[in-house]
């Protein structure tokens, strides 16, 4: 039966996709064997929170770090037990003072900004570029103050932020530059990988990312001092640091951010698969781009010159005025046709209560009270108008991380979109 010619499923017709698509499954026998080998060896973790060879972890962790550094082209790779841990460690390695400011994006997972709060610094949210959804360098430039110490960009959905422009701003003002490349491992930016054009970058190994070990993360840097600080912060820094200078001690409240041997062994197998995972997502996106081309009021993902996209999310923008329909109406019709993984908007983390009410460290407002302009910093609607409009009305995402997406499955997704777009009058009525 040609379902595209039938009435919309929302209006009683037959859905294009009448059964769930196969979920994305990325672990198999090789990972099982790698984990079993660690278990049989009897060493599940080899860290000791004291000076000595074991401070850097066991053989699987160190082997994975060396492999990751070589793969991404970084001088140093430091493995951690989650990417949230990695973000906290990256900000801590900068040695910030209470009330220092770090400029970041509202379109990211909350941990990007709460990592700043964990280090008693103040997140300052810059608006995003409406084409790429990444932090807008022009907005960053406008927000630099004498209290600004760093920029923390996120390479959202699979595409690098404009790191050249951000580096120019950082160098002009003497700032550090960090990147959260959780969603974009394997994406190219210029001559290298996304995440490698910052003072500290890194990737998530969370279960629904391109590659994973359940939970984990990889920090990358070419800076010897920052690498040493990251390794200390990961493993109870206060127990091993021998520095006496206040600038070297700042941020050295350590944590247990240590990745286990089983996770490291699995992550090593997964890293070997990153290239094929990226290629698979890019094939899906290319098929979607071709199949959705020409649909009025729908803009498919933009890829900036000199970059590649790895499509953690296939991000689209709707012109609801041209369509004469709300996003919710289109979303309901597409979901009724069986399209999985649809997202109506993304994040506006600057509007979360922890920021708006300044209550991360109790009700007194710390760390804002440590800043001369702390009272003037607010997180109200209107702060990031591009991000807020996209979230409220026009962004439509397709999470490619949820399904295997064989070519025939992508074809049915395209058919569902074209069916809905072919019957817009019925929806309007």
Blockwise average pLDDT, block size 10, the chain, 429 residues: 77 95 93 97 93 92 98 98 98 96 97 96 98 98 97 98 98 98 98 97 96 97 96 90 81 93 98 97 98 98 96 98 96 97 95 93 90 92 97 97 94 98 95
Number of H helices, E strands in the chain: 16, 13
Residue 335: phi, psi to the nearest 5? -65, -35
DSSP letter string over 215-242? Answer: S-EEEEES-HHHHHHHHHHHB-GGGT--
Number of C-alpha atoms within 13 angstroms, CB side, residue 109? 14
pLDDT of 340: 97
Structure tokens at 9: 């499923």
Residues with Cβ within 8 Å of 246's Cβ and at least 6 positions away in sequence, in order, are: none
Q: Tell me how far apart the terminal alpha carbons of the chain are, to the nearest angstrom.
A: 25
What is the C-alpha separation between 74 and 198, in angstroms, rounded?
11
What is the C-alpha separation between 270 and 284, in angstroms, rounded?
20
Beta carbons of 345 and 390 less than 8 angstroms apart: yes
Q: How many CB atoms lie within 10 A of CB 376?
A: 8
Q: How many CB atoms lie within 10 A of CB 18?
A: 11
pLDDT of 51: 86
- In angstroms, the Cα distances linking 303 to 188, 259, 269, 308, 398 are 11, 34, 29, 7, 16
Q: Decide: residue 52, CB within 10 A, 0-12 exposed, 13-18 middle, 19+ buried.
A: exposed
Give CA angle at 233 (232, 235), nearest 5°.
Answer: 65
What is the C-alpha separation between 26 and 220, in angstroms, rounded?
24
| Residues facing residue 77 across a β-bridge | 220
Helices 261-271 and 29-41, packing angle to 10 deg: 150
What is the C-alpha separation between 22 and 341, in angstroms, rounded?
12
Residue listed under structure tokens 């491992």? 185
The two most distant CA atoms of the chain are separated, in Å, by 76
What is the C-alpha separation between 366 and 359, in angstroms, rounded?
8
| Closest listed residue to residue 189, CA positions, set 83, 97, 305 | 305
Domain ranges of the chain: 29-272
**Check: CATH 1.20.140.10 for 29-272?**
no
- In angstroms, the Cα distances linking 361 to 2, 88, 96, 152 are 58, 15, 16, 21
Beta carbons of 401 and 208 less than 8 angstroms apart: yes
pLDDT of 362: 87
pLDDT of 148: 98
Burial 57-96 (b: 16+ CB within 10 A, else e): bbebbeebbebbbebbebebbbbbbbbbbbbbbbbbbbbb
Helix residue spans in 153-273 (DSSP H)? 163-173, 224-234, 246-249, 261-271
Beta carbons of 123 and 82 less than 8 angstroms apart: no
Residues with Cβ within 8 Å of 230's Cβ and at least 6 positions away in sequence, in order, are: 76, 78, 89, 90, 93, 200, 219, 221
What is the C-alpha separation between 180 and 163, in angstroms, rounded?
12
Residue listed under structure tokens 């040493």? 228
Instruction: Kindly calculate the radius of gyration of the chain based on its CA atoms and give it in whole angstroms.
Output: 23
For residue 189, give the 3-state DSSP assignment.
Answer: strand
Residue listed under structure tokens 């369509």? 323
């Amino acid at each position: 039966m040609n379902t595209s010619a039938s009435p919309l499923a929302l209006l009683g017709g037959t859905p294009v996709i009448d059964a769930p698509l196969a979920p994305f499954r990325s672990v198999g026998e090789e990972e099982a064997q790698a984990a079993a080998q660690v278990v049989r060896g009897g060493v599940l973790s080899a860290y000791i929170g004291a000076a000595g060879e074991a401070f850097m972890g066991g053989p699987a962790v160190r082997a994975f770090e060396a492999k990751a550094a070589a793969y991404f082209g970084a001088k140093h790779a430091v493995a951690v037990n989650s990417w949230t841990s990695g973000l906290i460690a990256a900000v801590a390695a900068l040695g910030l003072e209470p009330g220092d400011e770090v400029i970041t994006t509202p379109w990211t997972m909350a941990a990007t900004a709460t990592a700043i709060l964990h280090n008693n610094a103040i997140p300052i949210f810059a608006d995003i570029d409406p084409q790429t959804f990444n932090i807008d360098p022009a907005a960053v430039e406008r927000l630099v103050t004498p209290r600004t110490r760093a920029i923390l960009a996120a390479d959202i959905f699979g595409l690098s932020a404009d790191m050249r422009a951000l580096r120019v701003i950082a160098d002009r003002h003497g700032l550090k530059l960090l990147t959260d490349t959780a969603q974009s491992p394997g994406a190219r930016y210029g001559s290298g990988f996304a995440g490698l054009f910052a003072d500290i970058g890194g990737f998530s190994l969370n279960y629904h990312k391109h590659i994973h070990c359940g939970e984990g993360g990889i920090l990358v840097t070419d800076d010897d001092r920052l690498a040493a600080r990251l390794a200390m912060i990961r493993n109870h820094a206060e127990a091993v640091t021998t520095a006496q200078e206040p600038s070297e001690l700042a941020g050295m409240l350590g944590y247990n951010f240590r990745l286990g041997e089983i996770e490291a062994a699995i992550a090593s197998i997964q890293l070997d698969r990153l290239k094929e995972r990226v290629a698979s997502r890019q094939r899906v996106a290319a098929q979607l781009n071709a199949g959705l081309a020409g649909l009025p009021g729908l803009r498919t993902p933009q890829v900036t010159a000199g970059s590649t996209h790895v499509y953690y999310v296939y991000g689209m923008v709707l012109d609801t005025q041209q369509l004469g329909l709300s996003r919710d109406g289109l979303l309901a019709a597409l979901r009724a046709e069986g399209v999985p993984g649809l997202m109506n908007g993304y994040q506006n983390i600057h509007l979360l209560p922890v920021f708006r009410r300044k209550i991360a460290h109790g009700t007194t407002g710390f760390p804002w009270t440590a800043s001369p302009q702390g009272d003037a910093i607010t997180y109200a609607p209107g702060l990031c108008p591009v991000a807020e409009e996209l979230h409220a009305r026009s962004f439509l995402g397709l999470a490619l991380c949820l399904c295997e997406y064989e070519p025939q499955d992508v074809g049915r997704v395209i058919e569902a979109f074209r069916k809905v777009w072919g019957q817009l009058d019925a929806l309007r009525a």
